[in-house]
Amino acid sequence: MASGIVDQGWPAQYIPEQDVPARAEQAQKHERQWTLGPIMNALIRAGLSLERFEEHPDQYWNGLPNLPEAVAKCLPHTFSLVMRRGHVAL
């Protein structure tokens, strides 16, 4: 896995240009593409239990430019997790 990107500023895909605050007012951000396994395992090691997991077709950047749009809409590109401390029965 490549190291992350540290930047200040927002690409137009995230926030429309007219809504972006002045550069001096923006916090530093860190970006990195993580695979699901390391994320889940780090949270489990931290003592969290999975309560809910969802996959979403939302693409926040065009990471697969040659993939037909119809196919891209069928694939998970993002996910959301709800995890809590302690054991949670599913």
**Rounded Cα gap, residues 38 and 35, in angstroms:** 6
Model pTM? 0.54
Instruction: Kindly state the helix (H) or strand (E) to which residue 37 belongs, with its residue range.
Output: helix 36-45
Confidence at residue 58, expressed as pLDDT on a 0 to 100 scale: 82
For 13-70, write each residue's pLDDT tens digit: 666 777 777 878 877 776 677 888 999 999 999 999 999 999 888 877 777 788 898 9
Identify the CA nearest to 9 among candidates 61, 32, 20: 20
Residue type, 57: P
* Residues 4 and 54 sit within 8 Å (Cβ to Cβ): no
User: What's the angle, vertex CA 70, arms to CA 4 and CA 73, rounded to 5?
Assistant: 45
